[in-house]
Amino acid sequence: MRHAGRTVLVTGGTGGIGSAIVAQYLAEGARVAIVDLDAARGQAQSDELAAQGHDVVFVAADVGTFKGCQQAVEQARAALGEIDTLINNAGISPKHAGHPAAVGEMAPEEWDRVVAVNLSAAFYLTRLLAPGMQQRGFGRIVSMSSVAGKAALADIVAIHYSTTKAALIGFTRHAAAELGPYGITVNAIAPGRIDTPLLKTVAQQANDAVIAQTALRRLGEPSEVAQTCAFLTSNEADFVTGQVVDVAGGWLMT
């Protein structure tokens, strides 16, 4: 019960990795605010978890806008109290007929939306929550980067996704330096190929190619990302900040 008594806000909390993160924190005694655009799915998830005795609330919000982030924070605080831990997990990676758009063909609107959800949301929520964390002298922030933010994967993801995931690494390091004196740690996780429902839309040949390049010769599990997340925000990692932890099975080791 490493997180007993703490309140955690998880964006993108209904997805494969997001759901695993939510479940991990609830299992460790935390109160959790699930934030996602999918209202029907999120409410059903929250209702089921609440029926199991967990302290959880769902907030339907678009974190790609500052107003949506304000809404998420206000509703989460009203239901669960001050937020100790922020997990910037929301992310999108649009495809076209299963393929990423080339830079010369990408619509500016698609670029803007990916930057908003994958990157700006992390700033918006940190901007909203950091002052309270500073006042209390405690806070934990983890953002979901990707191995695509550290290596060129043009055949798998588009330039907007790689750019935002790389930018989250810079964001993490700067925020760690700025907020560290207030007892706030800021870290990032860089998942590799994780076995989520999203992979069912990807050709098996593509997944097999990644597995062949991965030292452990398998896909990762959402629970393995969630466990890393819970560790980085626990007391066991009190002296860990500004770091990017790969959860990739040895794929694209750098």
CA distance 162 to 169: 11
- For the structural domain made of 7-246, what CATH number should be given? 3.40.50.720
User: φ, ψ for residue 133 (rounded to 5)?
Assistant: -60, -40
Q: Which residue spans within the chain are E strands per DSSP? A: 7-11, 31-36, 56-60, 85-88, 139-144, 184-191, 244-247
User: φ, ψ for residue 108 (rounded to 5)?
Assistant: -55, -35
CA distance 205 to 183: 46
DSSP code, position 118:
I
State the distance between the two ends of the chain, measured CA to CA, in whole angstroms: 34
Please, what are the averages of pLDDT over each run of 10 residues along the chain (254 residues)? 96 95 98 96 96 96 98 97 97 83 91 97 98 98 92 83 95 98 98 85 80 92 97 98 95 77
Q: How many CB atoms within 10 Å of residue 236?
A: 11
CA distance 219 to 108: 33
pLDDT recorded at residue 51: 96
Q: Which two tokens stand for residue 87?
A: 């997990």
Residue pointed to by tokens 């059903």: 44
pLDDT recorded at residue 155: 75
pLDDT recorded at residue 179: 98
- Phi/psi zone of residue 157: left (φ > 0), alpha (ψ -120 to 50 degrees), beta? beta
What amino acid positions are annotated as catalytic residues? 161
Identify the helix (H) or strand (E) that includes residue 63. Answer: none
Q: How many CB atoms within 10 Å of residue 99?
A: 10
Domain residue spans of the chain: 7-246
pLDDT recorded at residue 254: 58
